[in-house]
Structure 1
Amino acid sequence: MVEEVKLFKTFSSPFALRIYKTIFEDPSNKSRSLLHYNPVKKQIRVLVHNGKPIAESLVILEYIDETWKQAPLLPEDPYENAMAWKEQEEAIVPAIETLKFLEEELMGKKFFGGETIRFADLALGRLANLISILEEIVGLKVVDGEKFPLLSSWMQDFADAPIIKDNWPPRDRMIVKFQALRDAIIAAAAAASK
């Protein structure tokens, strides 16, 4: 049986292997086919294997690792594999603690400065833009509206403020920039491991 494997990606993503049928997507004009395979999150990176869609970068990597055993992505040794996952989880803990602190700082306020944007909002404001961009690139939700409702609302309120909205760099160009940065880091890590 011939397996059908499609990968929806942007032009700058290096994750398409030659065995995949690659479908390039424009972040600002997503195809019907992509939206069919990822109707909920509508994120671009989707792997379709024999008609079954798999979304989210980390989930795709795990699926590939489990499906095509001849080219493992994770260490084959169970202990080394567990340590790789543990290191990833340990790196997340300090980030979650910081988000909890910021959530508490917003109690009873629209912005960190109260009802208006102040210095702390401007100092942290870049996060409102970058976090959503990185979430889209990585396929992992960081500021979940259920876990961090105040922080999520602050990000939206800050992003919607006319003075901020009118002066942020174009989102599509930022996505391309950070995808290229991520790709360069991955390529450098792969070259270093050879």
Structure 2
Amino acid sequence: MAKVEGEVQLLGVGGSPFARRVQIALKLKGIEYTYIEENLRDKSDLLLKYNPIHKKVPVLVHNGKPIVESLVILEYIDETWENYPIFPQQPYEKALARFWSRFIDDKILPAISKAAWTVNKDEREKGIEESLQALQFLENELKHKFFGGENISIVDIAASYLAFWLPVIEEAVELKLLTSDKFPKLHKWSQEFINHPIVKENLPPKQGLLGFFKSRYAAISATSK
């Protein structure tokens, strides 16, 4: 394990793709840390203390100082511990990595949410169209085994939602977005990513997530009747 200057804590929720991003990065770098599971329905004093603005996970605490928002945390981790860099070293490539990571959070995830959880048929169809368009941009950007080449990078970690959570959602709500015929490169990437030893051991149990998403979909569907 990497040498750690000061105590590292991670406040998270087991099924959160954003908390899992941070766990994957910490494990890739070999950073020892203490994990604290949060209950977002009954938020702890610790969470409210360290993230009083958003009151959500993940929160990384290093030497008693909190860092919030998963992409910000990932950049902090990479700048603090230099082994196994997850960001490119060249400024232009680093800027591109930031762009695509934000693109995933700002464009792809909201579109998928609209496609999966919107009751209105027209809005749902619009979400599907937006999702497919955004995924095509990402498909075109993928030129190697991973977005970082042969090693997992920040963009791969940011896209972990697409590799693991999206297929579970697709099964729960009977939706097809990231298929091998439409997005062959992304589909192959997703299999390589979730089967990477460190990623694989830091993903939540699939069945628990599937049950959660099915219940959520049933509740949403019931409100539309």
TM-score when normalising by structure 2? 0.44
Per the alignment, residue 189 of structure 1 pairs with 224
Offset of 1:103 from its aligned partner? 0.3
Per the alignment, residue 130 of structure 1 pairs with 165
Per the alignment, residue 128 of structure 2 pairs with 92
Q: In the alignment, residue 93 of structure 1 is paired with which amino acid?
A: E
Bigger CA radius of gyration:
1
Q: Count how many residue pairs are aligned between Structure 1 and Structure 2.
A: 106
Q: In the alignment, residue 91 of structure 1 is paired with which amino acid?
A: G
Per the alignment, residue 111 of structure 1 pairs with 146
Per the alignment, residue 149 of structure 1 pairs with 184
Cα-to-partner distance string for 1:117-158 (whole Å, 9 max, x where unaligned) = 011111111221111101211223211111100000111001
Question: Mapping of 1:35-184 within 5 angstroms?
Answer: 86-107=122-143, 109-184=144-219
Answer yes or no: is the 8 Å Cα contact 2:142–2:186 preserved in 1.
Answer: yes
SS of the residue aligned with 1:169?
Answer: coil
**Percent identity between the two aligned chains:** 40
SS of the residue aligned with 1:131?
Answer: helix
Q: Give the Cα–Cα distance (whole angstroms) in 2 for the partners of residues 124 and 160 of structure 1.
A: 14
Structure 2: any 5+ residue segments left out of the alignment? 1-119
Alpha carbon RMSD of aligned pairs, Å? 1.7
Structure 1 residues 87 and 174, CA, compared in 2 at 3 Å: closer, same or farther? closer
Offset of 1:189 from its aligned partner? 3.5
Structure 1: any 5+ residue segments left out of the alignment? 1-83
Cα-to-partner distance string for 1:17-42 (whole Å, 9 max, x where unaligned) = xxxxxxxxxxxxxxxxxxxxxxxxxx
Structure 1 residues 88 and 185, CA, compared in 2 at 3 Å: closer, same or farther? closer
Q: In the alignment, residue 162 of structure 2 is paired with which amino acid?
A: L
Answer yes or no: is the 8 Å Cα contact 2:173–2:217 preserved in 1.
Answer: no
Cα-to-partner distance string for 1:145-173 (whole Å, 9 max, x where unaligned) = 11100000111001100111111110011
Per the alignment, residue 60 of structure 1 pairs with none
Offset of 1:105 from its aligned partner? 0.9
| Bigger Cα displacement from structure 2, 87-96 vs 178-187 | 87-96
Offset of 1:106 from its aligned partner? 0.4
Judging by fraction of residues, say which structure has more helix: 2
